[in-house]
Structure 1
Amino acid sequence: MITIIRIVSAIRIIIMATKKSSSAAKKKAVKKAAKKTNTVKKQSTRNESASLFGNDESAQASLQSPVSHSEGSSHASKESGNGVYLFLVLAGILAIGYLGYVKYLKPKAPTATTQTDATKVPADAQTKPVADSAEKKVEETSKEGSSTGFLTDKIASKKFTEASAYCKSVGGVVPSKDDLVKFAATAPTEIKTSEDKFWTKTEIDKKSGLAYRFSNGKAPKVDKATSLKVLCKN
């Protein structure tokens, strides 16, 4: 871009110099035209005097020679000035056009590294998001399935007589044995492998109730005064 600006500045300087030279040539042409007018006037005077001499051809030829010479020189100077000006303008336009083509329009051949990078990046960009989204879906599905219908974040240790009131306070109820058996298939790993016993709502007698252990699927009889885990069903 800086090179183009320098070239344009140089062309402008050349054009200004050419204009000055052409204006100087025009001034010279005006002076010569004035001289020509004076010469013509002198010529008319000489012609009048020459007519007095009749057929003196040598005198008439000498009087007409300065006029033709001045006309030819003025035309030559004008044509030469215009030709130089047009040549410089065309050369500047061609130079600017070539530099612009080379800098902005000429296509560049891609290198081997850019081609390999272009092939690698889309593959990585496509595989990683797909894998991440699949993992997220599996995690979300497992979480939704494991906690559906049960308040797994509100597990507490309570006595049998306290279990019902506690579940009611957190917006749920004490589940039955069948509810816990069904939930075992989709329960989180920490609950499914737990050796703890969880109260059910089943009361065996006045002193004991039925509990459930997820690790072995057994439902033992436990004293109501014992503190066991309570997993409430919403």
Structure 2
Amino acid sequence: MATKKSSSAAKKKAVKKAAKKTNTVKKQSTRNESASLFGNDESAQASLQSPVSHSDSSDHGTKESGNGVYLFLVLAGIIAIGYLGYVKYLKPKAPTATTQVEATKTPADAQTKPVADASEKKAEETPKEVATAGFLTDKITSKKFTEAAAYCKSVGGVVPSKEDLVKFAATAPNEIKTSEDKFWTKTEVDKKSGLAYRFSNGKAPKVDKATSLKVLCKN
């Protein structure tokens, strides 16, 4: 009986040890599997995160590069447009050889002289017109006393009196005022003579009507 009990106890111990060992092996296996799964999860996460971050950095770098090229092109275009505008509108044109030669040949005084001459000419003409107002100084001719009236009528005037010529002498042109010629007046002295007037000395001598004298008609 004692042998059977000890044998039974030994079997129970052996079964307990085997069960304990089996449990230990199972726990170890479970731990290994967990560790393996955990390791796989970390590597998977790392593998998932790594391409994403790489792609983001690559896209960011591409965008920055594209933006830089675009800005460079815009700046280059603005500079080109500004330079073309400066050349076309603002840059002073260099004088041509012809212009330089003409400027050398023509002094500044000569360039302004025609204007001054025109002004002087106009200033000279105006007083002359005023001085000769009332008399046809451009129609002076030589006629006999009997022909003077008809001639003045043909040019739109009349033979002046002595008083008319005396008044005109104050403003007459210098070539008439200093003339030694005698000018017929409309005054008849007698049948054979008429009255003439000399501007140089203001005298009015009697002259034969058949003599040819200057005729200054009054309009």
TM-score normalised to structure 2 length? 0.63
- How far, CA to CA, are the matches of 2:119 and 2:139 in structure 1? 29
Quote the residue 1:209 is aligned against.
194
Quote the residue 1:65 is aligned against.
46
What amino acid maps onto 1:68 in structure 2? Q
What amino acid maps onto 1:70 in structure 2? P
SS for the counterpart of 1:226 is coil
What amino acid maps onto 1:151 in structure 2? L
Q: Does 1:89 align with 2:89?
A: no
Q: CA-to-partner distance for each residue in 1:135-172, whole Å, 9 max, x for gaps? A: 35532332122221111111111110111111111111
- How far, CA to CA, are the matches of 2:64 and 2:134 in structure 1? 97
The Cα shift of 1:128 comes to 7.7
SS for the counterpart of 1:173 is coil
Quote the residue 1:184 is aligned against.
169
User: How many residue pairs get matched?
Assistant: 164
- How far, CA to CA, are the matches of 2:214 and 2:58 in structure 1? 115
The farther-off stretch of 136-145 and 152-161 is 136-145
The Cα shift of 1:176 comes to 0.5
- How far, CA to CA, are the matches of 1:227 and 1:191 in structure 2? 17
SS for the counterpart of 2:165 is helix
Give unmatched runs, 5+ long, in structure 1.
Answer: 1-52, 109-123
- How far, CA to CA, are the matches of 1:187 and 1:71 in structure 2? 114
Q: CA-to-partner distance for each residue in 1:103-160, whole Å, 9 max, x for gaps? A: 85xx99xxxxxxxxxxxxxxx9xx9899668635532332122221111111111110
- How far, CA to CA, are the matches of 2:183 and 2:175 in structure 1? 13
- How far, CA to CA, are the matches of 2:40 and 2:190 in structure 1? 162
Quote the residue 2:146 is aligned against.
161
Q: Does 1:141 align with 2:122?
A: no
- How far, CA to CA, are the matches of 1:226 and 1:155 in structure 2? 16
Cα distance change of structure 1 residues 200 and 79 upon mapping to structure 2, 3 Å threshold = same
Q: CA-to-partner distance for each residue in 1:11-56, whole Å, 9 max, x for gaps? A: xxxxxxxxxxxxxxxxxxxxxxxxxxxxxxxxxxxxxxxxxx5553
The Cα shift of 1:186 comes to 1.1
- How far, CA to CA, are the matches of 1:160 and 1:63 in structure 2? 143
Give unmatched runs, 5+ long, in structure 2.
Answer: 1-32, 92-108
Higher gyration radius (CA): 2
- How far, CA to CA, are the matches of 2:194 and 2:44 in structure 1? 150
- How far, CA to CA, are the matches of 1:210 and 1:78 in structure 2? 122
SS for the counterpart of 2:175 is helix
Match for residue 210 of structure 2 among 214, 225, 229: 225
1:123-138 matched pairs, under 5 angstroms: 135-136=120-121, 138=123
What amino acid maps onto 2:47 in structure 1? P
The Cα shift of 1:86 comes to 1.9
Quote the residue 1:197 is aligned against.
182
Aligned-pair Cα RMSD in Å: 3.1
SS for the counterpart of 1:229 is strand
Match for residue 78 of structure 1 among 59, 66, 71: 59
TM-score normalised to structure 1 length? 0.60
**Identity of paired residues, percent?**
66
